[in-house]
Homo-oligomer: A and B are copies of this chain.
C-alpha cells in the first residue's frame, strides 16, 4: 500500500486518475488486514490488495461524485454490492477514480500514463490510468458502450467486461438498465480473472443478475485448451476507420494465429447493431437523466444534452423494435459460439487520441458485443506507431467467461515470440 501511495505521489499530478484518495484511510484498512493476518484469521483472495473504484460505484466510507458537479460531495452511506464482495475478499478500497461526466462522453481531466498529451479513454478513464500508472493493481470500471475495453486498450492494460449479469450493479450509478455492465482493469490476465471471480455474485435487486453459478475465470485463465481454439473475425464496415498501424498490427495477429482464425464478411445480422445499441442507449439515458436534466440542466455538457435530445425523440415503438433486434442478435451469438471459441476484434481505432481531440475515442468497436451481453476482454498485445499500446479484443460466449479466459491464455502464449508484437 505504501508503494502504491508513493507511485501516486510521484505521477498523480500529471495523470490525475483520482477523484477521491485518502491515503490515511487506505493505510488504516491495510493495517487492519495485516492485524487479521497476524492473528491467524481467514484471509480472502484479495487480502490486502488495493483496488480502485470508478467514481460511480458507491461506498459507505467515501464520496461518490459521478464526474459531475451535480454530485459534488455526494455520500451514499452504503457500499455497492460489489464493494461488499471486495471487502469480504480482503481488498483495500483505495479510492475513487475519475469518470467522464456521469459515465457518459464528456472527458474528465485524467491523462494517459503513457503520454500526458493523450486521453486515457473513457468513461472509466481514471480506473484504466490508475492501473497503467501502477497506482493500484486492480480497478473497477463500467461499460455501456466501450468504456472498459477502450480505456484499457489506450492505457496498455488488460480490461475485462464479463457477461451481462455476472457482476451485480446495485449501488452503481445507472445510465442504461439494458446496457450498463461492470468490468475491471489489471496488469495480467490472472489478476483480471481473480478480480472478477471475487466480485461476481447473484443479486436479486439487479434485474440483469442471475441465480446461476458463476464461471471460474481464474481456473479458465490457468487451463490448457483441450484443442487449439477456433476464432472468428468479422470484417465489419466500421473497421475501415482503423488507424493504419492498428490495421497492420491486427493483420499480424491474424497471421500469427494462422488457420485458427476464420474470416467472415460482416454478417447481415451484425451490420446495423451499432445503431440498435445507440437507440437503446439514447432512449434509456434520456429516461435515467430526466430528473437530473430537469433540476440541473444548465450544468450538463453539450454531449449529454445532445444525447437527451436524441433519446427524447425516440419513440416507444422504435425502442421496442431495438430491444427485439437485440434479442435476435443474442440468439445469433448463441449459435455462433457453438462453432467458435471467441471472436477476435479491434478494441479501439488505434492508439490513444490526443487530448486536443476533445473526446475519449470511438466506442463503435465494442458496442455490438456489449449490446449482446457477451464477455469482452482486451489484451495489451500491440504497440503503435508512436510506441503507444494498442489492445486486441476477444469476445466470448455468454456466461462462458471461463472459456474466453482459456482462449485468451492460449492466444497470449501463441503470440509470445511471434512477430505480431514487433510488426508495427
Contacts and interface: CB of A to CB of B under 8 A. Distances in A.
Interface in A182-218: 201-204, 211-216
Interface string A35-56: 0100011111001000000000
A28 interface: no
| Interface of A: prevailing SS | loop
Given A399-B41, A400-B40, A402-B42, A60 B204 contact: yes
A30 interface: no
B84 A213 contact: no
Interface string A79-116: 10000110111100000000000000000000000000
Given A60-B204, A79-B204, A204-B79, A88 B43 contact: no
A78 interface: yes
Given A60-B204, A79-B204, A204-B78, A88 B41 contact: no
Given A78-B204, A204-B60, A204-B78, A211 B84 contact: yes
B88 A213 contact: yes
A218 to B, nearest CB: 12
A215 B42 contact: yes
B84 A214 contact: no
B214 A88 contact: yes
A84 B202 contact: yes
Contacts of A79: 204
Contact of A84 (B88, B203, B400): B203
Contact of A212 (B60, B90, B212, B399): B90
Contacts of A88: 201-202, 211-214
Interface in A59-91: 60, 78-79, 84-85, 87-90
Interface string A313-330: 000000000000000000
Interface residues of A, number: 29
Interface in A1-54: 36, 40-44, 47
Q: How many copies of this chain?
A: 2
B47 A89 contact: no
Nearest to A81: B204
A213 B89 contact: yes
A36 B47 CA distance: 32
Contacts of A44: 213-214
**Most chain B C-beta atoms within 10 Å of own C-beta, residue among A85, A213, A215:** A213
B400 A213 contact: no
A41 B84 CA distance: 26
Nearest to A44: B213
B213 A42 contact: yes
A42 B215 CA distance: 5
Nearest to A41: B399
**Most chain B C-beta atoms within 10 Å of own C-beta, residue among A36, A41, A44, A85:** A41
Contacts of A202: 84-85, 87-88
A203 B60 CA distance: 13
27 contacts: A36-B212, A36-B213, A40-B400, A41-B212, A41-B213, A41-B215, A41-B400, A42-B213, A42-B215, A42-B216, A42-B399, A43-B213, A44-B213, A44-B214, A47-B213, A78-B204, A84-B203, A84-B204, A85-B201, A85-B202, A87-B202, A87-B211, A88-B202, A88-B211, A88-B212, A89-B213, A90-B212
Interface of A: 36, 40-44, 47, 60, 78-79, 84-85, 87-90, 201-204, 211-216, 399-400, 402
Given A90-B212, A201-B201, 17 more contacts: A36-B212, A36-B213, A41-B399, A41-B400, A42-B212, A42-B215, A42-B216, A42-B399, A42-B402, A43-B213, A84-B202, A84-B204, A87-B202, A88-B201, A88-B211, A88-B212, A89-B213
The 8 closest A-B pairs by CB, nearest first: A44-B213, A87-B211, A88-B202, A42-B215, A42-B213, A90-B213, A84-B202, A79-B204
